[in-house]
């Protein structure tokens, strides 16, 4: 199996830690992890893409692992437009030419936002476990979905923030235990992944992200122009694949239905049977196969 190497690059605000597989690959893929997870989420998918000819890059999102802010004065914003802008700047810093952009959870939102802010930044988009537009403040929200989002509201209370700050691993572990069918991970893998949560900015970015998402806190003014562009959901022209497990314990599969109208390029949605919120971990070979087929590299 192809092993990754660790690297760093700088954007306007961040010193980004990232992993790289197969640096001489013919194509490039950027894989963006979600919450609460880390670049380890791609450890099974990335080598398969690398064997198929991709140079694969997996950055640690702001607030995770070794990714650091260049200045102590930069607001530790977790707003979704910041994640999209971070991805655009990562692609530009490495001078990548229209890479395949794959994202899970927060990462899925980041790749879609990046494409909305910068048309043509990627050759293809793959969104895993998240439907397009489900980060908008005015979205319809069923009572079932509100129940699933309990942690959003809990973190907006003093006791919730205290709980997250005092034992971030226990907080994240509840999500892993309840967002997918039992038995999909082992203790060693969770412990290794949770090391990424030790970043000193993790708690502030996580809490700000969910508070901002529901209009409970102001964003970083640096992203006001991006927020304005995103205030009306952009129609995307990048070929897009959505992968969603039908046993997802946080985002029901109906939340990614009916999004075709927001895409002018090729659009596919695949529902994965018996799979929870972490398809790239639970069924990595199937996810890699669907990505390669969508990109025309496998029949």
Number of alpha carbons in the 13 Å side-chain half-sphere of residue 102: 25
| CATH at residue 77 | 3.40.50.1820
254: CB partners within 8 A, 6+ apart: none
- Give phi and psi for 153, each to the nearest 5: -75, -35
- Give phi and psi for 173, each to the nearest 5: -60, -35
Cα separation, 107 vs 226, in Å, equals 17
Cα separation, 276 vs 207, in Å, equals 24
Tokens at residue 159, please?
Answer: 């006791």
Cα separation, 226 vs 223, in Å, equals 5
What are the pLDDT digits (tens) for 89-100?
999 999 999 999
- Give phi and psi for 187, each to the nearest 5: -60, -40
Q: What is the pLDDT of residue 139?
A: 76
**118-122: average pLDDT:** 96
Cα separation, 83 vs 290, in Å, equals 25
β-strand partners of 55: 28
> Is the pLDDT assigned to residue 74 strictly greater than 80?
yes
**72-90: average pLDDT:** 98
Whether the Cβ atoms of residue 298 and residue 52 lie closer than 8 Å to each other:
yes
Q: Three-state SS string across the chain, please?
A: CCCCEEEEEECCCEEEEEEEECCCCCEEEEEECCCCCCHHHHCCHHHHHHHCCEEEEEECCCCCCCCEECCCCCCCCCCHHHHHHHHHHHHHHCCCCCCEEEEECHHHHHHHHHHHHCCCCCCCEEEECCCCCCCCCCCCCCHHHHHHCHHHHHCCCHHHHHHHHHCHHHHHHHHHHHCCCCCCCCHHHHHHHHHHHHCCCHHHHHHHHHHHHCCCCCCCHHHHHHHHHHCCCCCECCCEEEEEECCCCCCCHHHHCCCHHHECCCEEEEEECCCCCCHHHHCHHHHHHHHHHHCCCCC
Q: How many domains in the chain? A: 1
Domain of 253? Answer: 5-294
Whether the Cβ atoms of residue 116 and residue 42 lie closer than 8 Å to each other:
no
What are the pLDDT digits (tens) for 218-275?
999 999 999 999 999 999 999 999 999 999 999 999 999 999 999 999 999 999 999 9
Cα separation, 114 vs 83, in Å, equals 8
* pLDDT band for position 154 (cuts 50, 70, 90): very high
In a domain, 299, yes or no: no
- Tokens 């692992």 locate to 65
From the number of C-beta atoms within 10 Å of its C-beta (0-12, 13-18, 19+), residue 72 rates as exposed
* pLDDT band for position 24 (cuts 50, 70, 90): very high
In a domain, 101, yes or no: yes
In a domain, 140, yes or no: yes
Q: What is the pLDDT of residue 299?
A: 64
Q: What is the mean pLDDT of the chain?
A: 96
Q: What is the pLDDT of residue 244?
A: 98
Q: What is the pLDDT of residue 61?
A: 98
> Is the pLDDT assigned to residue 280 strictly greater than 80?
yes
β-strand partners of 257: none
In a domain, 112, yes or no: yes
**81-108: average pLDDT:** 98
> Is the pLDDT assigned to residue 136 strictly greater than 80?
no
- Residue 61: closest CA among 26, 35, 41: 35
* pLDDT band for position 78 (cuts 50, 70, 90): very high
């Amino acid at each position: 199996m192809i092993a990754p190497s660790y690297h760093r690059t700088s954007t306007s605000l961040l010193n980004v830690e990232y992993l790289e597989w197969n640096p001489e690959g013919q194509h490039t893929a950027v894989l963006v992890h979600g919450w609460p997870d880390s670049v380890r989420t791609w450890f099974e998918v990335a080598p398969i893409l690398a064997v198929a000819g991709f140079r694969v890059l997996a950055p640690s999102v702001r607030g995770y692992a070794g990714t650091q802010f260049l200045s102590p004065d930069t607001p530790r914003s977790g707003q979704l437009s910041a994640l999209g802008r971070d991805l655009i700047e990562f692609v530009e810093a490495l001078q990548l030419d229209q890479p395949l952009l794959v994202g899970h959870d927060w990462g899925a939102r980041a790749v879609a936002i990046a494409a909305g802010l910068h048309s043509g930044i990627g050759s293809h988009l793959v969104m895993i476990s998240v439907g397009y537009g489900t980060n908008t403040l005015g979205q319809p929200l069923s009572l079932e979905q509100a129940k699933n989002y309990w942690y959003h509201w809990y973190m907006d209370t003093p006791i919730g923030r205290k709980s997250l700050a005092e034992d971030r691993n226990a907080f994240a572990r509840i999500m892993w235990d309840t967002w997918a069918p039992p038995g999909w991970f082992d203790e060693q893998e969770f412990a290794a992944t949770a090391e990424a949560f030790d970043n000193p900015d993790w708690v502030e970015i996580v809490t700000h992200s969910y508070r901002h998402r529901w209009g409970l806190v102001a964003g970083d003014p640096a992203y006001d122009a991006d927020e304005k562009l995103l205030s009306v959901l952009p129609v995307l022209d990048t070929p897009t694949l959505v992968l969603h497990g039908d046993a997802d314990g946080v985002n029901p599969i109906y939340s990614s239905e009916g999004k075709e109208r927001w895409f002018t390029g090729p659009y596919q949605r695949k529902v994965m049977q018996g799979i929870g919120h972490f398809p790239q971990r639970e069924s990595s070979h199937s996810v890699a196969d669907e990505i390669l087929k969508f990109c025309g590299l496998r029949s």
